[in-house]
Amino acid sequence: MAKKEDHVSAVAIYIGGYNNNIVGSAPAPVWEEHTAMLDDDVAFSKDKHAWKHATNTLLAAISRDAGGVGAAELWTRPYDEQSNANLLHLTARWSSKPADDAALVGTKTPEPAPPGVGYAAVLMEDDDGKAIINFRELDSLANNPELPPDERIEKLMPRYERVAGLTLASNVGVIVLFVEKSNDPDDVDRPVAPCERASAMPFLRASAAAVSALVQTRLPRHMYLAQRTNKAARSWRSLRSIVRSGLLKPPKDLAHVPQKASRLKAYASKFKGAAKGTPPKMIKLEQAAHIFIGVFITLILLSGGNKLISEETSGEYGLLLGSMGALCTLLFAAPNSPLAQPRNVLYGHLMACLVGIVLNYMTETANDKGDGIPRWVTQALSPSLAIAGMALFGVTHPPAGAVSLIMVSAKPMIDAKWRAVGAPVFAMITISVIVASMYNNAHPKKQYPTAWLLQPTFTR
């Protein structure tokens, strides 16, 4: 594996500059924009780092990963609308051995290539950007009598054997890949380079698409930066002119500073609601039907089980509470809600039961008997404590808030005391969570639960 220093010297990328050295580890080139400035007064900032580095890294990675590529060149068209818009310019180059290439072709940037002239233009016309990439012998380009003489390709023939072009999208340019000569070029049975195999074609096409996207951002980027710079420059010039003319003077009277709104006005303004609030959208009929079936299956199981158990135990045990309507709403209409996850379902109900049962022991046994808290106070206190406790421990669950009220209001639940935790509460929520998990996960676009997280935690 090459050292980092070798990698830096081997990769020589020159973005947009047509008068820079192409091969070798020359000093860092300056970004040159080959387009007419949008405004004569624009002081356009030179990008010396990010833009060059992006193309540098991309072209080098493509060449190294392809296998067998000794050099790669990026030829692009100018993005302005001048008369030379069809010329191809060498804007970036990578070489595994830059010193050897410099000895062959020198370090001077070649002249822009018009359509049909030069190996870059020929390879660009030869590739349609879709089919299998055609790697051609270098001598077929150098010795083709139908093509103009190409001195650069003739100089590269001693080091490279084959060459191919990858046309970029919208014909903005072409990537030229040079395949190094093998150690035994006369061996007709030698395997082809990895980059020439059919398995490499999807990778090379996708890489060309990535380079195309990068190249095609040049014009929008230039226009945006020029417009932004122009606007700021004009604003500062206008401001300086106003100051020098004496038109900008301090006001005679101090500007009125609005007073902070009173707390009463701020409180009243909250009743207006959010100005940009929108009501929830309707769901599809198929989604509503899916919710209906899930709720029906859950409640028919609990309702049937409640009837059977109540009859067998003479009403001592059951499986159904009024809070099941709210629980099914969360489990099937909002299964991704944090309030519907098993952690909240379990611990929310346990807290509701605990608060309700403890308060039942502290409540008077009969109206106006005076041996405890009045029942009507308990019915307000139980949900208050349960809901606040659930919020404190991060297990808020609306149906559990309803259970805390049922625990101190319904006579069967008051009489059941601690037995109510097992049935109906724990049995009811267990069946509901199991049915919701099996039913929701059968749908390709739903998942329940998003997380179990049943281990108790006491962190904020």
Residue 395 or 234, more confident: 395
Mean pLDDT calculated for residue range 47-72: 80
In angstroms, the CA 151 to CA 72 distance is 18
HEC assignment per residue over the chain: CCCHHHHHHHEECCCCCCCCCCCCCCCCCCCCCCCCCCCCCCCCCCCCCHHHHHHHHHHHHHHHHHCCEEEEEEEECCCCCCCCCCCEEEEEEEECCHHHHHHHHCCCCCCCECCCCCHHHHHHHHCCCCCCCCCEEHHHHHCCCCCCCCHHHHHHCCCEEEEEEEECHHHCEEEEEEEECCCCCCCCCCCCCHHHCHHHHHHHHHHHHHHHHHHCCHHHHHHHHHHHHHHHHHHHHHHHHHHHHCCCCCCCCCCCCCCCCCHHHHHHHHHHCCCCCCCCCCCCHHHHHHHHHHHHHHHHHHHHHHHHHHHHCCCCCCCCCCCHHHHHHHHHHCCCCHHHCHHHHHHHHHHHHHHHHHHHHHECCCCCCCCCECHHHHHHHHHHHHHHHHHHHCCCCHHHHHHHHHHCCCHHHHHHCCHHHHHHHHHHHHHHHHHHHHHHHCCCCCCCCCCCCCCCCCCC
The amino acid that residue 292 corresponds to is F
Contact 386, 352 (CB under 8 A): yes
Residues 6-47 pLDDT 10s: 333 333 333 333 333 333 333 333 323 333 333 333 333 444
Is the confidence at residue 229, as pLDDT, over 60?
A: yes
> What is the per-residue pLDDT for 18?
33
Beta pairing, strands 69-76 & 89-95? antiparallel
Contact 384, 392 (CB under 8 A): no
In angstroms, the CA 204 to CA 123 distance is 15
Mean pLDDT calculated for residue range 436-443: 95
Please give the backbone phi and psi of residue 115, each rounded to the nearest 5 degrees, phi first: -55, 130
Is the confidence at residue 81, as pLDDT, over 60?
A: no
Contact 186, 60 (CB under 8 A): no
Question: How many other C-beta atoms can be found within 10 angstroms of the C-beta atom of residue 219?
Answer: 15
Q: What does the domain layout of the chain look like in residue ranges?
A: 4-183+191-220, 285-441
- Tokens 């769901």, located at residue: 283
Confidence of residue 347 (pLDDT cuts 50, 70, 90): very high
In angstroms, the CA 453 to CA 431 distance is 18
State the chain's mean pLDDT as an integer.
Answer: 81
> What is the per-residue pLDDT for 48?
44
In angstroms, the CA 296 to CA 293 distance is 5
Is the confidence at residue 181, as pLDDT, over 90?
A: no
Is the confidence at residue 169, as pLDDT, over 80?
A: yes
> What is the per-residue pLDDT for 394?
92
155-164, 254-263, 367-376 — most confident range: 155-164
- Tokens 């992006």, located at residue: 54
Contact 359, 404 (CB under 8 A): no
Mean pLDDT calculated for residue range 409-414: 92
Q: Which fold has domain 4-183+191-220?
A: Beta-Lactamase (3.30.450)
Mean pLDDT calculated for residue range 123-139: 84
Mean pLDDT calculated for residue range 321-326: 94
Confidence of residue 357 (pLDDT cuts 50, 70, 90): very high
Residues 99-116 pLDDT 10s: 888 888 887 888 888 877
The amino acid that residue 5 corresponds to is E
Mean pLDDT calculated for residue range 1-10: 38
**Is the bond preceding residue 424 a cis peptide, omega within 30 degrees?**
yes
Mean pLDDT calculated for residue range 432-451: 93
Contact 163, 141 (CB under 8 A): yes
Mean pLDDT calculated for residue range 195-201: 89
Sign of the torsion formed by the C-alpha atoms of 355, 357, 360 and 361: negative
236-245, 345-354, 448-457 — most confident range: 345-354
> What is the per-residue pLDDT for 21?
36
In angstroms, the CA 286 to CA 223 distance is 48
> What is the per-residue pLDDT for 278?
74
In angstroms, the CA 20 to CA 152 distance is 17
In angstroms, the CA 62 to CA 203 distance is 9
> What is the per-residue pLDDT for 156?
87
Confidence of residue 203 (pLDDT cuts 50, 70, 90): very high
> What is the per-residue pLDDT for 287?
94
Residues 231-258 pLDDT 10s: 777 777 777 777 777 776 666 666 666 7
Is the confidence at residue 187, as pLDDT, over 70?
A: no
Confidence of residue 4 (pLDDT cuts 50, 70, 90): very low
Sign of the torsion formed by the C-alpha atoms of 456, 458, 459 and 460: positive
**Model pTM greater than 0.85?**
no
